[in-house]
Structures are given as structure tokens and as C-alpha cells.
């Protein structure tokens, strides 16, 4: 693992140069595990400043933003190419247009076609619209990485469940109050306050 991190650090250092010393294959860049510019920003913030970008000073934030743009401009297309081609590794399963929820889960497959078949077999019953299930190639690794990814997904859904339970409880209390007041107001009219001659 430490060796992988050293290799990744060296590649990033090279990509940060004005002119990188060498060119890299699409798979080399994909294998570093960055799937978007945000992940590159997080990596750079933690590696060079030991914290997340939102904790940085404006000057350091600007440095991270500039560096991440340079790195992502040099590797983004390569990563998109590998994801499009697919291959042996881990695929993320999600439902298109389901913006309020994270990924449904992850699977291991040898190709995009196999991943699509497995996704329909293993996840379609959980989807609102099974035809909108999509797979995305995210890691060129063996199935052993699934345990870590599934754990992360479980933690996300546990948080969503707890938040939803709080929201549901608040909504039920609001509904109860609204029903009570509505019922009470049905008996209200101007006649209750009409003045009688003294």
C-alpha cells in the first residue's frame, strides 16, 4: 500500500511540473484512484497542508485549486477513456436521476457488459426504475476492494436513514399540529366575536 502511495505521489509531482518528464498510459493514471477533480483537490489539500480544502486560508485554497486544475487537465481524459472501455475491476452501481441518494453499491466484473448484467440481477429490485440503473468502472483491482467500498456505502445509508427518521418525526409532529389547528379553526367564525347590545 505504501509503495502504491509513493508511485502515486511521484506521478502527481511529475504532473504538477510545467512540463512532465514522462508520459503515462491511461491505465496508469486511472489506477491512482482519482475519479474526479474534487478527489484530486482533497488529495492535494491533505498531502501538502494536512487538512481539507475548506479549512485552508484563501491563499492556500487558491494554490490547491490551481494545482488540481493542472493535474486534472492532464489526467481527466485518460480516466474517462478507461471508464468508457471498462475492464476487470470494480464497478459502481447507481440509479440515474436519483440525485438524493448515493450509489446503490459496488460489484466486481470482468467487463462493462458483465457488470451491466450483474447490476440488473443484483440491484434492479431496489431501483424505482430498473432501466435507469447504470454502471461505472471505478477501480482496476480485484474483488478484495469491495469490502471497503461496501462498508462506505453502508455508512452513507445509515446516515441517510437516521436523518430521514428525524425528518419523518418532525414531519409527523408538524402534521399532527396542522390537523389539530385545522380542526379547531373549523369552529371559528366572526359570530363568536359579534358584539351584543349592552
For residue 60, pLDDT beyond 80: yes
Residue of 57, 30, 33, 35 whose CA lies nearest to 45: 57
The Cα–Cα gap between 65 and 13 comes to 15
In a domain, 190, yes or no: no
**How many domains is the chain built from?**
2
Predicted pLDDT of residue 169: 95
Q: State the pLDDT confidence band at 152, using cuts at 50, 70 and 90.
A: very high
Q: Are residues 149 and 95 in the same domain?
A: yes
Report, as an integer, the average pLDDT of 153-168: 94
Q: What beta strand segments (E) does the chain contain?
A: 89-95, 105-109, 133-139
In a domain, 42, yes or no: yes
Q: Where in the sequence is the domain holding 73, given as residue range(s)? A: 2-85
Predicted pLDDT of residue 193: 80
Task: Write down which residue in 85, 108, 124 finishes a domain.
Answer: 85
Which residues, listed in sequence order, are joined to residue 108 by a DSSP beta bridge? 90
Specify the 3-state DSSP secondary structure of 176: helix
In this structure, how many other beta carbons lie within 10 angstroms of the beta carbon of residue 95? 21
CB 82 within 8 A of CB 34: no
Q: State the pLDDT confidence band at 53, using cuts at 50, 70 and 90.
A: confident
For residue 100, pLDDT beyond 90: no
Q: Are residues 73 and 91 in the same domain?
A: no
Report, as an integer, the average pLDDT of 65-83: 94
pTM to 2 decimals?
A: 0.77
The Cα–Cα gap between 92 and 105 comes to 6
DSSP 8-state symbol, 70: H
Specify the 3-state DSSP secondary structure of 115: helix
Q: Cα–Cα distances in Å, from 45 out to 9, 36, 42, 60?
A: 13, 15, 5, 9
Q: Are residues 75 and 124 in the same domain?
A: no
Lowest-confidence pick of 101-110, 122-131, 184-193: 184-193
Q: Are residues 124 and 150 in the same domain?
A: yes
Q: Provide, rounded to the nearest whole percent, the portion of the chain with pLDDT above 90.
A: 68
Residue of 12, 24, 28 whose CA lies nearest to 140: 28
In a domain, 170, yes or no: yes
In a domain, 197, yes or no: no
Report, as an integer, the average pLDDT of 91-113: 90
Amino acid at each position: 500500500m505504501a509503495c502504491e502511495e509513493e508511485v502515486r505521489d511521484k506521478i502527481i509531482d511529475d504532473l504538477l511540473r510545467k512540463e512532465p518528464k514522462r508520459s503515462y498510459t491511461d491505465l496508469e493514471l486511472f489506477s491512482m484512484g482519482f475519479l474526479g477533480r474534487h478527489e484530486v483537490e482533497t488529495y492535494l489539500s491533505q498531502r501538502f497542508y494536512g487538512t481539507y480544502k475548506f479549512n485552508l486560508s484563501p491563499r492556500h485554497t487558491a494554490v490547491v485549486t490551481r494545482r488540481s486544475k493542472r493535474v486534472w487537465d492532464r489526467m481527466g481524459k485518460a480516466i474517462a477513456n478507461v471508464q468508457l472501455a471498462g475492464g476487470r475491476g470494480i464497478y459502481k452501481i447507481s440509479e440515474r436521476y436519483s440525485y438524493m441518494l448515493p450509489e446503490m453499491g459496488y460489484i466486481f466484473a470482468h467487463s462493462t457488459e458483465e457488470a451491466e448484467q450483474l447490476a440488473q440481477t443484483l440491484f434492479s429490485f431496489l431501483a424505482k426504475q430498473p432501466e435507469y440503473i447504470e454502471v461505472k468502472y471505478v477501480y482496476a483491482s480485484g474483488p478484495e476492494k469491495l469490502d471497503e467500498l461496501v462498508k462506505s456505502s453502508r455508512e452513507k445509508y445509515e446516515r441517510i436513514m437516521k436523518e430521514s427518521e428525524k425528518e419523518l418525526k418532525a414531519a409527523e409532529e408538524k402534521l399532527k399540529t396542522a390537523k389539530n389547528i385545522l380542526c379547531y379553526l373549523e369552529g371559528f367564525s366572526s359570530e363568536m366575536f359579534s358584539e351584543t347590545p349592552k
